[in-house]
Amino acid sequence: MDMTANSQLDMLVGGEFDMELNFVIQDAQNIKHMLELLDHCPPNLQAEIWSVFIAILRKSVRNLQACTDVGLIEHVLHRLTQAETIVADLLIDMLGVLASYSITV
């Protein structure tokens, strides 16, 4: 994985990201920071980060709650119209995950 992607994921979990051991978002505000940084990344790197992000959302209710706390659905909807196809498909997938959580809460 790209160093930028690793740094993004490390920031989210407040330490060294690990898909099995350290994948819970520690500070929901870091999701907003991630969005700002992703706006400056090429589409292939955005897709890589979003793919991992979606996977950690599926693994943890706490991560879903962190996304709800910062209004991620609204932020993603604003970015969707400008996103490249590869990124847009992932954003739509993530919206489905977030929406199903929001409905059950």
The full set of domain ranges for the chain reads: 3-104
User: pTM to 2 decimals?
Assistant: 0.92
Average pLDDT, whole number, for the chain? 94
d(CA 66, CA 68): 5
Q: Cα separation of 67 and 62, whole Å?
A: 9
CB atoms inside a 10 Å sphere around CB 47: 19
Residues 39-80: tens digit of each pLDDT: 999 999 999 999 999 999 999 999 999 999 999 999 999 999
**List of residues 6+ apart from 32 with CB closer than 8 A:** 70, 75
